[in-house]
Amino acid sequence: MTTDEPADRPVRHLRLRGWIAPIAVVTLLMALLATMYLAYVVNPTKNLHDFPVALVNQDDGDVLGDKPANVGNQITEALVANLPSDKIDLHVVGFAEAQRQLRQGHAYGAIVIPSDFTKRLAILGAAGVVPGAVEQPVITVHTNPRAGSFATAVMQRIADEALSRVDETVGKQLIDTVHARLQPSPGTPGTELAGASQLMLAHPIQVVVAPYRPLPDGTGQGLSAFFYTLLVLLAGFTGAMTIHSMTDSALGFAPTEYGPWYVHYPSAPISRFRTLLLKWAILAITAPIVSALFLGVATLLDVPLDHPLALFLYCVLAILAVGVTALSVLAAFGTAGLLVNLILFIVLGLPSSGGTVPIEATPEYFAWLATFEPMHQVFLGVRSILYFNANGAAGLYRGTGMAVLGLAIGLLGGAVVTRFYDRKGLQRKPAVAAQSGR
């Protein structure tokens, strides 16, 4: 028994799918974009977690109020106890270790209490009643501008809030000590503390903010590494998209259309695996050309490039890793691979890169994404070369290792999938041609 259907029913059905599918895909994609990008930036203070800060206490102590004291130890204990451990990863270390962490980008800042802190505090207390020149005790806050401008701002805010409380507490302690010393002996007139002295002693600490190894001009205040990374990701991602579409057009697997000009060549007798090899070969030729182009433009714009060869080679590797993987995804998923690549390399990659807002100031699931998202790995390598003297421990080792791993996964995955399709006889043919060939 056969059922006659209206001739236009498949067309009407196709039209309905043609409306619903793109609307649904675009809506879901934009929902993901909104969730990722707004969560990334709207509330960094609330999202703060594991923000690495070094604390150095060099105070030798002194006599304060006729008693031995070490105010640096008291401040250290207060900071360790009061700074929220779920937000700030505070490490009490020596000065040399703090410098190492700053040089390698492992700390976003350091709070340094000098060796003469208690001594200066005692002198300041005595100066409240004794004439003479005096200097305030100093606590230095070293920011790390090479770790990012936003990280610097967060570090300054943390230091301002924590040290303002320390200043008030130490000031109250100092005033009480001075008042105790001014208590008159029986039968002698008392000495009053002058108002100006009380004002000075109430806030005795001078906080000095000093950038550690400030960035030179031409770095965009720490943003040039992020935008260089973005260029590299786009070179691999959009390069793969372009190579994929243009090669398929030349081989007759897709139409070629430029304005009113349209042509669809006959399909070439080439396997999926050999097609992918051809695309990889084109990418391999393109990657060093594009990397050299980026380097040339950066040189013309006076971007500081202390290690141009390392930057060139690393970017070639990163472009290959991203591009090879993107081409393999397209070979495996076809048209749907466009969305997969967009989500993998851009939608999830940009907010988890750490290039503008540090990972430690974003929701914690971004930290999980940053363990494998390509943009974060590339950013670590580029930032290490541009800002941290190509120090391997500052991110270059990780960036290089992850790029090699990504390249290997892309090569292996693409080869396995396309060879599987070829062995199954899943040729790239139009539906009519495929049916007639049975």
- Going by their DSSP bridges, the two strands 261-263 and 256-258 should be labelled as antiparallel
Rounded to an integer, the average pLDDT of 214-224 is 90
- Comparing C-alpha atoms, which of 115, 7, 123 is closest to residue 58? 115
Q: Is 392 left (phi over 0), alpha (psi -120 to 50) or beta?
A: alpha
> pLDDT at position 18, please?
67
Q: Which residues, listed in sequence order, are joined to residue 143 by a DSSP beta bridge?
A: 109, 211
Prediction pTM value:
0.87
Over the chain, what is the mean pLDDT?
Answer: 86
> pLDDT at position 130, please?
56
42-65 exposure pattern, b = at least 16 Cβ within 10 A, e = fewer? eebeebbbebbbbbbbebebbebb
pLDDT band at 167 (very low <50, low <70, confident <90, very high): confident
> What is the tens place of the pLDDT at every residue in 285-297?
999 999 999 999 9
Query: Distance between CA 280 and CA 244 in Å, rounded?
Result: 10
Q: What is the DSSP letter of 83?
A: S
> pLDDT at position 183, please?
56
404-427 exposure pattern, b = at least 16 Cβ within 10 A, e = fewer? eebbeebbebbbebbeebeeeeee
